[in-house]
Amino acid sequence: MAPIFSSVLLSLCLLSSPFLSNANAHKKLGFTADLIHRDSPKSPFYNPTQTPSQRLRNAINRSVNRVAHFTNIYGKDASDNSPQTEITSSHGEYLMNVSLGTPPFPIMAVADTGSDLVWTQCKPCEDCYTQEDPLFDPKASSTYRNVSCSSSQCSEFGTEGSCSTDNTCSYSIAYGGDRSHSKGNVAADTLTLGSTNSRPVQLKNVIIGCGHNNAGKFNKKSSGIVGLGGGAASLVSQLGDSIDGKFSYCFVPLTEKDRTSKINFGTNAVVSGKGVVSTPLIKKSPQTFYYLTLESISVGSKKIQFPGINSGTGQGNIIIDSGTTFTFLPMEFYTQLERAVASQIKAERQEAPQGSMGLCYSATAKLKVPVITVHFDGADVKLDSSNSFAQISEELVCFAFRGSDDFFIYGNLSQMNFLVGYDTVSRKVSFKRADCAKM
Ligand SMILES: *[C@@H]1O[C@H](CO)[C@@H](O)[C@H](O)[C@H]1NC(C)=O
Ligand SMILES: *[C@@H]1O[C@H](CO)[C@@H](O)[C@H](O)[C@H]1NC(C)=O
Ligand SMILES: *[C@@H]1O[C@H](CO)[C@@H](O)[C@H](O)[C@H]1NC(C)=O
Ligand SMILES: *[C@@H]1O[C@H](CO)[C@@H](O)[C@H](O)[C@H]1NC(C)=O
């Protein structure tokens, strides 16, 4: 795994153009962008004929696939010597409207905390998946430049031993499991991020993958990925010092589909004030993922411990992810948790739909759900019933936790209506209860 990327390699600064925020080169940045949920009316994926519970069922399916891919990556990374970077193929669910190059060329990219590289499909295409929007043409951007083989960026971002005869650095990413991939040139160009209610921010010399050969499970409505993982190539690591390693997001509940979730960077991403709790971010391989330490979960006053937490091997036992629906726990831990929750709910338990969550009740039952508190190292996060139960069909409401054999993930239902802040410098993740629709 590459060492943490040093921001010295990048000359990141803001252009002084009238439509840009007027921060200058060495100032700390603070900016906010919209996260367009794939099922929101603003998203190109929007399907108005789907009901909210159909959308959730589809999300659950995608989420289960994502866990399968996490497992895949994890298994692969143990060997560590693979020349390719393995990243997940269920790419998360939020789109970011970014622009690349000069003049700015709009790109609908998937924002993903489960991967690192920022890439888009580029002209000329040797082999590209079908994309509805026009392709980015590096020749049309006056700020585009290829990264050369001899540069330090190439050793950070490029694929070993893959220099072309003309000294251009190339990359290759294989996506776990399903043979999806992207290959192309490592390049630097200007990336513009904006939000509906703030001025666009131009980031110069962001290292991107300009993909000329991309195939697999990519959606024709999206034209690339913005990786927000913890690895060297991610946008977060590249922005480095200028954002003090900070970003935060606030996920609006799915029921408020007209509201846009937000992602904040730098000075806008500080999570502070009353009720903030923080837990250490643990360094572990692969660095792409954000590892936390989950000690126990309380159901009312009954506390259930994460298996092995007292043996000293528990550090970094769970990944926090934006693109996984449920929270996945070790099977025996989940079983105890489910039993404790079920024992405190009066309503009659219903059979779970095939291949779906275990603990379900009738949607019409007036459920009194026990308070569930998630105890991370140093941070007690109190969930409310909309974090712990989700309506998955007209008839059923089910517990939003599941058992897994090998991969443990703190999912996004547990994070809804929390401001979740990542600080990759002080190495901590903070949670603060919030009304995300009002942010
Ligand atoms: C979820 O996936 C399973 C198996 O892949 C499939 O049988 C089922 O129809 C899918 N459900 C939805 C709602 O798409
Ligand atoms: C959580 O992740 C799933 C799967 O990627 C996605 O479909 C869903 O919309 C996300 N939910 C929220 C509240 O962000
Ligand atoms: C994305 O940005 C472009 C250019 O700024 C704009 O024209 C387009 O309407 C935006 N799309 C969405 C869905 O916000
Ligand atoms: C970048 O490298 C590719 C492949 O070597 C080449 O075709 C292209 O012309 C180069 N672009 C620029 C702007 O130098």
Please state whether beta strands 118-121 and 198-215 pair in parallel, antiparallel, or not at all (unpaired).
Answer: parallel
* CA 369 to ligand 4 center in whole angstroms: 59
Q: At 166, which amino acid appears?
A: D
Nearest in space to 118 (alpha carbons), one of 184, 166, 169, 66: 184
- Please tell me the predicted confidence (pLDDT) of residue 256: 73
Helix (H) or strand (E) holding 159: none
Domains and CATH numbers, the chain: 3-269 (2.40.70.10), 277-438 (2.40.70.10)
Counts for the chain of helices (H) and strands (E), in that order: 5, 28
pLDDT digits (tens, 9 = 90+) for 317-374: 999 988 778 899 999 999 999 999 999 999 999 988 776 668 999 988 888 999 999 9
pLDDT digits (tens, 9 = 90+) for 399-409: 999 988 877 88
* CA 321 to ligand 2 center in whole angstroms: 10
Q: Which of 77, 116, 189, 321 is catalytic?
A: 321
d(CA 117, CA 234): 5
Please state, rounded to an integer, the average pLDDT across all residues of the chain.
80
Atom of ligand 3 nearest to the CA of 43: 13
Task: Give the pLDDT band of residue 1 (cuts 50, 70, 90).
Answer: very low
pLDDT digits (tens, 9 = 90+) for 89-111: 344 567 888 999 999 999 988 88
**168 DSSP 8-state letter:** B
What pTM value is reported for the model? Answer: 0.82
- Please tell me the predicted confidence (pLDDT) of residue 19: 32
Ligand nearest the Cα of residue 138 is: 4
From the CB of 153, is ligand 4 less than 6 Å away?
no
For residue 103, whether the previous peptide bond is cis, meaning omega lies within 30 degrees of 0, is yes
- Please tell me the predicted confidence (pLDDT) of residue 14: 29
User: Please, what is the Cα angle at 46 between 45 and 47, to 5 degrees?
Assistant: 115
Give bridge partners of residue 401 from the DSSP assignment: 327
Report the percent of the chain where pLDDT is more than 90. 42
- Please tell me the predicted confidence (pLDDT) of residue 68: 54
Backbone angles phi, psi at 16, to 5 degrees: -100, 85
8 Å CB contact between 236 and 429 = no
Cα separation values, 32 from 6, 199, 260, Å: 23, 9, 12
